Structure 1
Amino acid sequence: MTHPTIAVLRGIIALALAGSVIVQAMILPAVWRDTEGTELWRRVVLVTLLALFVGAMQVIAVCVWQLLTKVRQGSVFSRSSFGYVDAVIVSLAAAAVVVFGLAALMAAGEAAPGVVGLVCGAALVFGGVALVVVVMRALLRQAIDREAEARTLRAELDEVV
């Protein structure tokens, strides 16, 4: 991956993180105020789900930032990368559950069935992306294992020569 690509990705992540802080500081309190006429449990659940979703996206952003650092340093194919990849998988799965919970909350209210279906579809997409990252994790493991095998073979060949 080239340095300009990493710089652009980091810029996007920085903007997303800044935006997520604004959501936490300004939008979530506004949602709380705007839902003043609804039942308390519904308000609490809605704002909690939204906060959990934003938190999951922040975890993903930080982990991708760290993986980009490893790419730039040439150390992404190391066992320490698995922690970041695992955190991304868990955060995506959590986001899928949270979005499905939002759909359930909407279905219990007055939301149109089509909107509930779209939100369920979004939950399905988050779950699918989590599975794609699981596959990519397996590819990372294969690359690390092959790199270790190549190092072992090189060391054995050096001893022979």
Structure 2
Amino acid sequence: MSIVSRLVLPLRVLLVMVFLGLLVAQVMSFPGEFLFTREEGPRMDPWRWPMLLFFELEAVCLQVVIVCIWRLLTLVQRGRIFTPASLRWVDVIMWAFVSAWLLLAVMAGSLISYIYFTPELRDPGLPAVLIGITLIGAVLVLLIVVLRDLLRQATSLQADMEGVI
């Protein structure tokens, strides 16, 4: 039994836990965090709905990635990771990451603009953090694209080797 096959079950348990945690956050935590507080009533007036929508959509993107990873783990267990079926799941992961990054870039740009054009909020700290997080997200998206191309090349080589044998 290889180390990969021994890690599939613990990884699946963790994926289920993260998926359920995101589901609980979407239903219970995010709405309570962004829409209401006990002391103040509704808060973050101009940003409460955009922030709620942002976090809900980001959580959906993560849930899509979790489902795709689950399917890829099934292909790994069956020894079929270097097939066109795996490329479809990796494509969905890639587009989920692209969508999440685009959402992040739009939200970060909006918040940076809001902070910049509101004199009492001008502080370089939060915009710098938002720009840094957006750049890190871009690196992750590009890394996923490169890894997808590596899988495509490995799949092509696997098919060529099977044709020779």
For the superposition of Structure 1 and Structure 2, which TM-score range results when normalised by the shorter chain? 0.7 to 0.9
* Aligned amino acid, residue 121 of structure 1: G
Which residue number in structure 2 is paired with residue 99 of structure 1? 104
- Deviation sequence 1:101-128 (CA, Å, 0-9, x none): 3323432144843123212222222221
Aligned equivalents of 1:56 and 1:111: distance in 2? 31
Q: Could you say what the CA RMSD is over the residues aligned between the two structures, in angstroms?
A: 1.9
Instruction: Please state whether the residue corresponding to 1:80 is helix, strand or coil.
Output: helix
Q: Residue 6 of structure 1 aligns with which residue?
A: 8
Aligned counterpart, 1:157: none
How many Å separate the matches in 1 of 2:91 and 2:49?
Answer: 29
d(CA) in 1 for partners of 2:153 and 2:163? 15
Alignment of 1:27-42 (within 5 A): 27-30=29-32, 31-34=34-37, 36-39=42-45, 42=47
Number of matched pairs = 153
Runs of 5+ unmatched residues, structure 2:
116-120
Question: Runs of at least 4 residues of structure 1 off by over 3 A?
Answer: 37-40, 109-112
Taking structure 2 as the reference length, the TM-score comes to 0.83
Question: Which residue of 37, 53, 68 maps to 1:63?
Answer: 68
* Equivalent residue, structure 1, for 2:24: 22
Matched residue type, 1:58: Q
CA gap 1:96/1:112 in 2 versus in 1, 3 angstroms: farther
> Following the alignment from structure 1 to structure 2, what is the Cα–Cα distance between the partners of residues 139 and 36?
48
The CA deviation string for residues 8-65 of structure 1, in whole angstroms up to 9 with x for no partner, is 221221111011001111112112224824435x222111111111111111111111
